[in-house]
Chains A and B, each alone.
Chain A
Amino acid sequence: MYSQAYLCIVIGAEQSPGVSMYAAVKHSSRGPALIPRMKTKHRIYYVALFSVVLLGLLATGVFQFWPHSIDASGDWAVEKRSVAVPVRGDLSCRMHTCFDVYRCGFNPKNKIKVYIYSLKKYVNELGVPVSSTISREYNELLSAIADSDYYTDDISRACLFVPSIDLLSQHALPIRETAQALAQLSRWDRGTNHLLFNMLPGGPPDYNTALDVPRDRALLAGGGFSTWTYRQGYDVSIPVYSPLSAEVALPEKGPGPRRYLLLSSQMAIHPEYREELEALQAKHGEAVLVLDKCTNLSEGVPSVRKRCHKHQVFDYPQVLQEATFCVVLRGARLGQAVLSDVLQAGCVPVVIADSYILPFSEVLDWKRASVVVPEEKIADVHGILQSIPSRQVEEMQRQARWFWEAYFQSIRAIALATLQIINDRIYPYAAISYEEWNEPPAVKWSSVSNPLFLPLIPPQSQGFTAIVLTYDRVESLFRVITEVSKVPSLSKLLVVWNNQNKNPPEDSLWPKIRVPLKVVRTAENKLSNRFFPYDEIETEAVLAIDDDIIMLTSDELQFGYEVWREFPDRLVGYPGRLHLWDHEMSKWKYESEWTNEVSMVLTGAAFYHKYFNYLYTYKMPGDIKNWVDAHMNCEDIAMNFLVANVTGKAVIKVTPRKKFKCPECTAIDGLSLDQTHMVERSECINKFASVFGTMPLKVVEHRADPVLYKDDFPEKLKSFPNIGSL
């Protein structure tokens, strides 16, 4: 801290080894020697020395925290060497040929590290500065990177380098000298892993679509790429930032048809195109409005913020909110700042710029927010726009605004999106998905993506694993094991022994069954042990069964498995339950009566996919899992919530209702206790609904029975005759 601060005075922000050594020597020789004995003769000398030191300290402190001034000459290191110019951009560059991925190395967080070179002043042979100071936007951009998680100040750990040479606009940029300056960067190495930002490429007369500064292998985040210059998968196409975004706050305007169907607000349009647009206006009258710059404005009114049609004056960009579609036509450059204004206004851009690579097109789906029209089709624009159904137009309007909010709004947003794109290329297994890039937050939250979305009926031969949770009811447990082992599709039986104080019975005492039987001893008596993803589970189907469910017949269990095969993404269970909204109490209520509807099945006897065990154990929202273990209740309701929330689907109750031996209240007897049980269960539902933030359970009115259940058909010919018997 000290030595760095000193450097500020001496040479500026740039570190130089010689100077820091000097500071270190001074500190070690003088500092400690002052402390012991003192001679009175030298007191004035000492006092003077101390005050100097103190003043120095004060000064360094002040410099440390004092904001820096970019124009203060002290912040500029002077470089006077002349160096070679890098070669022009290498068009064949791809990530796996030109990018040095070893620099990014192994990174547990899957985040690249970005280094920013410090500011330098470059002069030519005569000592005349060749570059002006950086622009406001580039300063913002560098600050945004420095404030982000990507930033590192350690040049040796960095994977991506950003020069502090402002290339945002090629206007008035000395090409050759800038290139020389780039080549001087300490880690330039032919531009490998260097990221350059440019929004206004090219210059008169031919306006190239990429930065003209020779840049060798450097990545270019450019704001006007065409298909010729854009290196797919290497460069990043970025928007041209519109400074109006920061100046003017346009409130979001709801979607829907607006006063004009099509609006053109650009000032510098090629005369040929302006003619064509004006022809459109003449043909379609009120629906089309073509604006131009104002010629008759009084002094003092900024012309940037006004547009005119004949003698009518419009405020820009406010007028954009009056149109459903807005033209974004190429000028001399392909990328136009008006695109940002148009999106901000929630106006759907009609992009007329052949071969233009739209901003962030690598990740953004522009079909959802824009209409791209070939230049030679300008005359047909009206017809093309009218053929778009209004619902789609509304979606596009919403999407346009959301793109602006997320990726165009500020320099910061642009910088972070660019780095994210590069990051996703380097760590593809941790990349952000299409949905995350493109779905507005409201849609992201409400949509459900079923983890088992593939319509697939697992083969019957796979069978299922039965998991019996038990504490100490050995007799009842053995009966359950014997009953379940009769089910043809059972492939393994797993007993979860939840009693730490007692050992499970000896091997010889267990019933002999035809499938492997494993006993898992748990470390703690927790209900969530039932849903642990044990390695022993090799089948996809799991039957969770309590150690007292002895009333289910083999036919019923086998049929339940068959039903699960047809609905592998659902909970398929026997006793069904319902949740109801209690209007008087304004909360949810648990219902176990004979109802016409079902929204839950008890996991005292239920088939489900083993993936839900993983979800229950590792991905249960909030504190539900611990809450369930602490209360020793409601693990089945939690499972029902979890599955319904993640799949968006209802449970399947199988077979008719049976008189279960109070499957959910094993130790409880008597009516009053039963009522407290119901109250507890209702509380669980309310608790879980608040943790999930919604009520995911789905109510259905059906249950699954065998095809011929109760049909007039010989029983012995039915596949599952023994259904519903007691």
Chain B
Amino acid sequence: MQFWRRKSLWLALSASWLLFILLGAFPLFRLAVSPRPQPAGPQGWPRWLDAALLRSFSQPEEPPEDVPVPSQAPQGASCSWGTCFDTSRCRNHGLKIFVHPAAGAASEMQRRILASLEGSRYQTRSLAEACLLLLLSPGAPAVHCGPVPHHWDRGRNHLVINLHPDPCPRASQLGQAMVAEASPRVDTFRPGFDVSLPLLPEAHPLRGGFPGQLRQHSPHPRAALLALAEDGGRWHTASFHSTTCPWDGRCEQDLGPKQTHRGEKLPNATFCLIPGHHAEASRFLQALQAGCIPVLLSPSWELPFSEVIDWTKAAIVADERLPLQVLAALQEMDPARVLALRQQTQFLWDAYFSSVDKVIHTTLEIIQDRILGASAHPSLLWNSPPGALLALSTFSRSPQDFPFYHLQQSSRPEGRFSALIWVGTPGQPPLKLIQAVAGSQHCAQIMVLWSRERPLPFRWPETAVPLTVMDGPRKLSHRFLPFGTITTDAILSLDAHSSLSTSEVDFAFVVWKNFPERMVGFLTWNHFWDEAQGGWGYTAEMANEFSMVLTAAAFYHRYYHTLFTHSLPRALRTLADEAPACADVLMNFLVAAVTKLPPIKVPYGKQHQEAAPLAPGVPGSEPQPQSPDHDCINQLAAEFGHMPLVSSRLRLDPVLFKDPVSVQRKKYRSLEKKP
């Protein structure tokens, strides 16, 4: 009995201990040791035992979906690209635009838009040929939308450009027309159909435009973090590093010492806070131009060209209700991100916004892309330099084919080049030159453009590479035609008079492969501002700087032939036809406008003796006032809207060039020979 009693006592004791441990100690222990919530267990969504038995949401016995499809003509708000735009009208001639004559007096901005369309390759004067009809909405928003033009056709294939927000209620009145409007409201904007434009200031230039203000990649360590849009079109720069929020008064009590700079036209800060309401939309462009990263607080308007531009790379759209959080995020932003955002603002400004011409052409390019469908510009081309206006989709759709995107695509230019020899003026056939070029291991083919009246020579030298001769009278600009026979990425452009050695060609090509977007040449010119004449001039004199290389002997990417022929206005190409030197200047303008970088010079042995005859028409050592060539550079600068040329002070030589080591060690030893 006693035994049994003791046993039961033990049992009771051990049970109670067990209970105690389970109830008290375990939870205490858990509490003390791991404060983290238990990951498994009943928390979260339970693991149902019979989950496998559940039925699928789509039952196979659902009725066949053969309900008639609504196919009434969509109107207004329901318009989309597929339903309201007739692309078949663009099939024959591509995108051709007919501009409805403006009713009444045109405003200054409208005149600029018209002028920009005037020179565009899209414009047509024939209504039948047109696939897009363009209507400029009257300038002032107060004016009623006015009577529709003659060939309105319910607005089909129409684009109404409106550089002011708040136009007429378009869903009802504009029918099936697309609206390109400055900062449209997000709730009425039809994505993929309408185009959102930037809100341009009245004095926005037609061409060229002011370059971006960014002078250095990274922000200056002492530069202000924030600028705030202020009434009267000015900016309020706050240089602070504490957690204050200067824009909505909610946390104004700890603004600290007011170290603010009031009233600047362009903000000088890393971030620019732009309130979301409509009135402040014009601040967006100012920030872009200044290289100040726009921080938009719940914008009620659609960002410009949002269809193609990836604004997450250049701006921050934040919620205005979380000011402190936004501020903290800006202060703690990764420097790499700040760097990328800053640069992107500048690229976008220069590529799409700096002039009326660019804004209009971007609009047209977007519509062109919609028409092209699958062969439109990929997003990469829109969003990295030099931008879609300068990377023509007619050339290729693959970024690898362009000279600009090799890094992003991890590709490299093709390993060989095509030599293009231009025989324009009388003289001996360039037999020696052909031999020298054909001797290069990188040469894929040689093409001779025989453009003079004289008959062709009977015999061409035997070369290891294919040699083709293209005969016929040609204009000078024809040397830059995109010849279909050129299949290599690199072109070596030559004149019949040029004299190069194989070694020079080899070295220049090896250099070009490292800089496929630039021109790599042997002979150089330099441009300068002529105070006396009040204009630009250029000289072939030997100098410490250069900004152009002669196409009489230069490597460049074949894409520039396409760009030269298809993107330049006809007027410019005619200019090049008239003066031989002007063609060189024009080509250099074009490449510099695209790359914003100087060309590259490589060593050239025979510089001194042959400089003069090599390029006929080169201005002599003394630039003559009012010479047609000087006119050329000034005319080009006027057409481009700015001077794109950039000077360089360096030349790329072989690593051991003229170094005091045995010639036997040098790869390009013939470059060393004294002329």
Docked Cα-Cα span, A610 to B335, in Å, equals 12
In the complex, what residues of B have CB within 8 A of residue A120's CB?
none
Q: Across the interface, do A35 and B374 meet the contact criterion of CB distance under 8 Å? A: no
Q: Once the chains bind, are A594 and B37 in contact (CB under 8 Å)?
A: no
Q: Is the CB of A563 within 8 A of B650?
A: yes
Query: Interface segment, A128-136, A212-220, A315-323, A677-685?
Result: A128-136
Residues of A within 8 A of B326 (CB): 429
Say whether B16 contacts A454, CB under 8 Å.
no
Inter-chain CA distance A69–B8, complex, in Å, is: 40
> Which A residues are in CB contact (< 8 Å) with B16?
34-35, 50
Q: Does B116 contact A (CB under 8 A)?
A: no
Do residues B12 and A707 form an inter-chain contact, with CB atoms below 8 A? no
* Distance from B286 Cβ to chain A, minimum over Cβ atoms (Å): 19
Instruction: Mark the stretch among A197-205, A250-258, A495-503, A662-670 that contacts chain B.
Output: A197-205
Which residues from 429 to 460 on chain A have a C-beta closer than 8 Å to any C-beta of chain B? 429-431, 433-434, 438, 443, 446-459
Docked CA distance A101–B222 (Å): 33
Could you say which residues of chain B place their CB within 8 Å of the CB of A206? 67
Query: Is A137 an interface position by the 8 A CB rule?
Result: yes
In the bound complex, do residue B597 and residue A705 qualify as a contact, i.e. CB atoms below 8 Å apart? no
Stretch at the interface among A330-338, A482-490, A513-521, A631-639: A330-338
Q: Is the CB of B45 within 8 A of A143?
A: yes
Contact A576 B80 (CB under 8 A): no
Q: How far is the CA of A628 from the CA of B15 in the complex (A)?
A: 63
Known: A452-B339, A540-B218, A705-B650. A207 touches B19 (CB 8 A): no
Contact of A168 among B9, B57, B63, B65 (CB under 8 A): B57
Chain B: CB-nearest residue to A426: B319
Q: Which of B313, B376, B650, B668 contacts A434 (CB 8 A)?
A: B313
Interface hit among B155-163, B259-267, B422-430, B540-548: B540-548
CB-contacts of B28-85 with A (<8 A):
37-38, 41-52, 54-60, 62-69, 71, 77-78, 80-83
**B125 CB-CB contact with A under 8 Å:** no
Which listed segment binds A: B377-385, B615-623, B625-633? Answer: B377-385
Closest-CB distance, A184 to chain B (whole angstroms): 20
Q: A102 touches which one: B65, B321, B333 (CB < 8 A)? A: B321
B44 touches A146 (CB 8 A): yes
B598 within 8 A of A: yes
> Is A284 located at the chain interface by the 8 A CB criterion?
no
- Min distance, Cβ B516 to any Cβ of chain A, angstroms: 12
Q: Does any Cβ of B come within 8 Å of A126's Cβ?
A: no
Query: Chain B 351-381 against A: per-residue CB contact (8 Å), 1 yes, 0 no?
Result: 0000000000000000000000111101100
**Chain A residues, Cβ within 8 Å of B58:** 169, 199-200, 240-241, 243, 337
Contacting pair A538 B665 (CB below 8 A): no
Flag whether B322 is at the interface (Cβ < 8 A): yes
- B546 — which chain A residues lie within 8 A by C-beta? 707
Contacts of A147 in B (CB 8 A): 44
Partner of A13, one of B46, B78, B657: B46
Asked whether, in the complex, the Cβ of A535 is within 8 Å of the Cβ of B221, the reply is yes
Q: Is the CB of A199 within 8 A of B57?
A: yes
Interface status of A653 (Cβ within 8 A of chain B): yes
**Bound Cα distance from A106 to B340, whole angstroms:** 25
Q: Which of B54, B410, B524, B650 contacts A448 (CB 8 A)?
A: B410
- Kindly state the separation between the CA atoms of A131 and B546 in the bound complex, as whole angstroms: 80
Chain B contacts of A451 at CB under 8 A?
336, 339-340
Could you tell me if B54 and A153 are in contact, using CB atoms closer than 8 angstroms?
A: no
The CA-CA distance from A598 to B655 in the complex, in Å, is: 7
Of B41, B340, B656, the contact of A657 (CB 8 Å cutoff)? B656
B27, B47, B51, B379: most-surrounded residue (chain A CB, <10 A): B51
Residues of A within 8 A of B312 (CB): 428, 431, 433-434
Residues in B neighbouring A327, C-beta threshold 8 A: none
Contact assessment for A710 and B658 in the assembled complex, using a CB-CB cutoff below 8 Å:
yes
The reply on A68 being an interface residue by CB < 8 A is yes
Q: Contact size class for B?
A: 35 or more
Indicate the member of B23, B27, B595 with the most A CB atoms within 10 Å. Answer: B23
Using a CB-CB cutoff of 8 Å, which residues 612-626 of chain A contact chain B? 614, 619
A713 within 8 Å of B by Cβ? yes
A82 within 8 A of B: no
**Which of B62, B310, B343, B649 makes the CB contact (< 8 A) with A706?**
B649
Contact among B88, B330, B410 for A429, CB-based, below 8 A: B330
Of chain A, the residue at the smallest CB distance from B83 is: A354
Q: Is A392 an interface residue (CB 8 A)?
A: yes
Q: Which residue of A lies closest to B324 (CB)?
A: A106
Instruction: Assess the B83–A594 pair: CB atoms within 8 A.
Output: no
Minimum Cβ distance to chain A for residue B83 (Å): 5
Contact present for B657 and A705 (CB under 8 Å): yes
A68–B45 alpha-carbon span in the complex (Å) = 10
Total inter-chain residue pairs, C-beta < 8 Å: 411
Within 8 A of A (CB), among B604-660: 607-608, 646, 648-659
Q: Any chain A CB within 8 A of the CB of B317? A: yes
| In the complex, chain A residues whose CB is within 8 Å of the CB of B514 | 650, 700, 702
CB distance from A159 to the nearest CB of B (A): 12
Stretch at the interface among B186-194, B487-495, B564-572: B186-194
Q: Does A673 contact B (CB under 8 A)?
A: no
Q: Which residues of B contact A151 (CB under 8 A)?
A: 44
A116 → chain B closest CB, angstroms: 6
In angstroms, how far is the closest chain A Cβ from the Cβ of B285?
18
A434 touching B343 by the CB < 8 A rule? Answer: no
Q: Nearest chain-A residue to B383 (Cβ)?
A: A434
With a cutoff of 8 Å between Cβ atoms, the chain A residues found around residue B11 in the complex are: 47, 50
Inter-chain contact A453/B656, CB cutoff 8 Å: no
Q: Is B579 an interface residue (CB 8 A)?
A: no
In the complex, which of the residues A69, A375, A702, A706 contacts B511, with contact meaning CB atoms closer than 8 Å? A702
Please tell me which one of the listed residues A57, A137, A207 contacts residue B22 in the complex, with CB atoms under 8 A apart. Answer: A57
- B57/A136 in contact, CB under 8 A: yes
Say yes or no: B12 contacts A46, CB within 8 Å: yes
A593–B83 Cα distance when bound, in Å, is: 69
Within 8 A of A (CB), among B473-516: 507, 510-511, 514
Complex interface bits, A136-147 against B, C-beta within 8 A gives 1, otherwise 0: 111100110111
CB <8 Å contact, A434 and B22: no
CA distance A449 to B330 in the complex (A): 22
Q: How far is the CA of A381 from the CA of B426 in the complex (A)?
A: 54
B 451-492 to A, binary, CB cutoff 8 A, 1 in contact else 0: 000000000000000000000000000000000000000000
Q: Which A residues are in CB contact (< 8 Å) with B374?
A: 367, 371, 384, 387-388, 392
A78-108: which have CB < 8 Å to B? 92, 94-96, 101-102, 105-106
Q: Which residues of A contact B379 (CB under 8 A)?
A: 365, 367-368, 434, 438
**Does A706 contact B55, Cβ atoms closer than 8 Å?**
no
Stretch at the interface among A265-273, A471-479, A584-592: A265-273
Those of B323-337 within 8 Å (CB) of chain A: 324-326, 328-330, 333, 335-337
Task: Return the 3 tightest CB-CB contacts between A and B, nearest first.
Answer: A331-B65, A374-B82, A146-B44
Q: Which residues in B have some Cβ–Cβ distance to A below 8 Å?
A: 5, 8-9, 11-13, 15-20, 22-24, 26-27, 37-38, 41-52, 54-60, 62-69, 71, 77-78, 80-83, 87-88, 186-187, 189-192, 214-218, 220-222, 276, 298, 310, 312-313, 316-322, 324-326, 328-330, 333, 335-337, 339-340, 343, 346-347, 373-376, 378-379, 383-385, 397-398, 407-410, 507, 510-511, 514, 524, 542-546, 595-598, 601-602, 607-608, 646, 648-659, 661, 665-668, 675
21 interchain pairs, CB-CB under 8 A: A34-B19, A50-B19, A116-B44, A205-B67, A332-B67, A355-B83, A371-B373, A376-B82, A387-B375, A429-B329, A450-B407, A566-B650, A594-B659, A647-B407, A648-B407, A656-B658, A703-B654, A706-B544, A706-B649, A707-B543, A710-B658
With A71-B50, A702-B510, A708-B543 given, name 4 new contacts (CB 8 A).
Answer: A67-B48, A241-B58, A596-B654, A596-B668
